């Protein structure tokens, strides 16, 4: 990532971004929890992209070079934590589940007032307790390094509804299906079908944030039916595509 900015402190604040807006690559001396009160958030590093709607937040460790991007109108709630405050012991970006209580705590704490009052300290203590209980979510698109694998991933990124098998995609880029299958496991830590489902979910979140109807999203992302899309989406995010964006 070129032109990396160094911001010594990860602020606790709210930033509003318009659809397509981004925050360029930067890093903090503190850890950061990033939560989308509205819209969909993606955080990108050299290792890949993490994405989250309102049922998830993204943990960004201190010193990690990362960039943000808004999908839909994004209310970005940012919570900075001192380097020695790492309740989950995480050293890489991670998506965490956000239940109703943790959501309200994040909204309240980032809205302020930003003072050292006993009430705010108690709010912070409860927030950290809830954070410790938050399950990690597999919502990352790892970045491939092998040129053949990257070529296949690019084809599907441009057209997530592409129905071709891995062998057929391999023929298009000059690589064998078995070789690509091994590369998916070795470099990305998942099978080709798992990666394609995750890619389609990422595209689905972006399209929904832009206001595209659920049926159209299912079609554009390659699901065989709207009901199949809704089922996969609910299992991944804990809500249906039609209700996930209805947040204040």
Query: What string of pLDDT tens digits covers the 248 residues of the chain?
Result: 445 666 667 788 899 999 989 999 999 999 999 999 888 989 999 999 999 888 899 999 999 999 999 998 989 999 999 999 888 889 999 999 999 999 999 999 998 788 889 999 999 999 999 999 999 988 899 999 999 999 999 999 999 999 999 999 999 999 999 999 999 999 999 999 999 999 999 999 999 998 899 999 999 999 999 999 999 999 988 888 988 755 54
**CA distances (Å), 230 to each of 115, 164, 204, 226, in order?**
43, 22, 11, 6
Q: What is the pLDDT of residues 88-147, one digit of tens each?
A: 889 999 999 999 999 999 999 998 788 889 999 999 999 999 999 999 988 899 999 999
The tokens 């399209």 sit on which residue? 207
Report whether 40 contacts 230 (CB < 8 A). no
Question: What pTM was estimated for this model as a whole?
Answer: 0.86
Name 67's bridge partners.
Answer: 44
* Residue-level pLDDT at 92: 92
CATH code, domain carrying 181 = 1.10.10.60
Query: Is 102 in the same domain as 184?
Result: no
Measured CA to CA, the distance from residue 177 to residue 213 in angstroms comes to 35
Query: Is 20 in the same domain as 125?
Result: yes
Residue 242 lies in a domain: no
Give the residue numbers spanning the domain of 118: 5-140
Query: Is 66 in the same domain as 156?
Result: no
Residue 205 lies in a domain: yes
């Amino acid at each position: 990532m070129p032109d990396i900015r160094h911001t010594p402190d990860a602020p606790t604040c709210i930033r509003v971004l318009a659809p397509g807006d981004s925050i360029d690559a930067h890093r903090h001396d503190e850890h950061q929890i990033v939560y989308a009160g509205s819209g969909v958030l993606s955080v990108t590093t050299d290792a890949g992209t993490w994405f989250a709607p309102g049922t998830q937040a993204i943990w960004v460790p201190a010193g990690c070079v990362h960039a943000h991007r808004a999908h839909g109108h994004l209310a970005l709630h940012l919570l900075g934590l001192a380097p020695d405050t790492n309740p989950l012991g995480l050293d890489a970006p991670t998506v965490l589940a956000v239940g109703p209580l943790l959501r309200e705590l994040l909204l309240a704490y980032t809205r302020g007032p930003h003072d050292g009052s006993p009430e705010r300290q108690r709010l912070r203590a409860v927030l950290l307790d809830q954070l410790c209980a938050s399950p990690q979510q597999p919502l990352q698109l790892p970045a491939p390094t092998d040129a053949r694998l990257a070529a296949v991933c690019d084809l599907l990124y441009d057209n997530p509804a592409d129905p071709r098998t891995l062998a057929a995609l391999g023929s298009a880029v000059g690589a064998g299906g078995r070789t690509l299958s091994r590369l998916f496991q070795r470099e990305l830590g998942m099978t080709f079908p798992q990666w394609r489902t995750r890619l389609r979910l990422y595209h689905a979140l972006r399209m929904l944030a832009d206001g595209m109807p659920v049926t159209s999203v299912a079609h554009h992302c390659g699901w065989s039916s709207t009901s199949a899309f809704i089922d996969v989406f609910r299992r991944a995010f804990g809500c249906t595509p039609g209700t996930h964006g209805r947040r204040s």
